[in-house]
Amino acid sequence: MNEIQLKYGCNPNQKPSRIYMEDGSELPVSVLNGKPGYINFLDALNGWQLVKELKEATGLPAATSFKHVSPAGAAVGLPLSDKLAKIYWVDDLGELSPLACAYARARGADRMSSFGDFISLSDVCDADTARLIKREVSDGVIAPGYTDEALEILKQKKKGNYNVIQIDPSYQPAPLERKQVYGITFEQGRNELRVDEALLSNIVTENKDIPAEALIDMKIALITLKYTQSNSVCYVKDGQAIGIGAGQQSRIHCTRLAGSKADNWFLRQSPQVLSLQFADGLGRADRDNAIDVYMSDDYMDVLADGVWERTFKVKPPVFTREERKEWLDKLEDVTLGSDAFFPFFDNIDRARRSGVKYIVQPGGSVRDDAVINACNRYGMAMVFTGIRLFHH
């Protein structure tokens, strides 16, 4: 088919709504289950491009968790440590396939933002990944294929209405892309930038030691940013995005927002959080909410008498600001990517507080020297790509 009718557009009052091929050719996507909507397809098609490029750049299975046309998380399929499996609520599933590990990481980095996500997978969805998806609150998934077992598992989700989309992995869009705003057509060449070692070769700092693992993380950061609403920055560690700041008008606000998400990811691994004893029957989303509040300065919202009993079996001690700082001081070897240049060195100061050691950004600011000097002061290694990655 060359057209799929949608229930409505971005909002229920925006009708009619459809996706179609303007040249009359066949759509490269088919709906195997459910009835995806307008925003579902925006998330699916942006997310598919992200994971397809991650797989090409790293050789590893990739997954992303999209919300409102920006990724909440993205990752490649590296094995999960026992600690990560626990904080991602998958420690009861046993050893997972590489693709399932990729989605566990993509979903787990920022579980609050991933609630109700649309999932994109680089590889054929297997049963491990389907079982993981089935237990999460999610709107749908796109992948190049599904095993029979995986498809049957997914069809049981949301009372049989879970959105399952299959995309032709060989599909290549036209080199020019168009969209309309207020009845006016915009046209531009597609962003076909290849993120590879050559793009990461211009190291501008005194420290020029960037290990292979950090180069992979730089690729993940840049490809994630390529499909994140700008302005945006992305913190990455060990093959997964751990903090994404999207759509902020000020870059320092992006850096702070994403840095706070990276901090929360690491705080979840602290002994104080890992030792929390939740009340029987408390769902994963409620646990995520409780952890988020417990790690903040608003901890009394879950620790007050008459309140904590609804969440915990045993009242936990306060996780003090001093204890949080002491734990966060252990976070290190983080990579930070930016879709455009850093105009001030305050971004570097904030990044350092979240363990950043490697930075990749376009460069080109009149204050590049000040930014480079700040990196040198902290012993960071920074790459200039010379290429901006705005996405709107």
Catalytically active residues are 67-68, 231, 392
Alpha-carbon gap, residue 309 to 51, rounded angstroms: 42
CB 334 within 8 A of CB 356: yes
Cα distances (Å, whole numbers) of residue 111 to 87, 104, 360, 368: 10, 10, 25, 35
Q: Which residues contact 65 (CB under 8 A, 6 or more apart)?
A: 71, 72, 73, 74, 103, 106, 107, 114, 117, 118, 119
Alpha-carbon gap, residue 48 to 76, rounded angstroms: 14
Alpha-carbon gap, residue 258 to 156, rounded angstroms: 35
Backbone angles phi, psi at 243, to 5 degrees: -165, 120
Please report, as a single letter, which amino acid is at residue 40.
N
Handedness of CA 300, 306, 312, 314 (dihedral sign): positive
Please report, as a single letter, which amino acid is at residue 305.
D
Handedness of CA 265, 266, 269, 275 (dihedral sign): negative
Tokens linked to 134: 């089935």
CB 282 within 8 A of CB 311: yes
Output 243-246 pairs: Cβ under 8 A, ≥24 positions apart.
243/109, 243/110, 243/354, 244/70, 244/71, 244/72, 244/73, 244/74, 244/110, 246/70, 246/71
Give the helix/strand (H/E) hosting 70: strand 70-76
Q: Which residues contact 113 (CB under 8 A, 6 or more apart)?
A: 67, 72, 73, 261
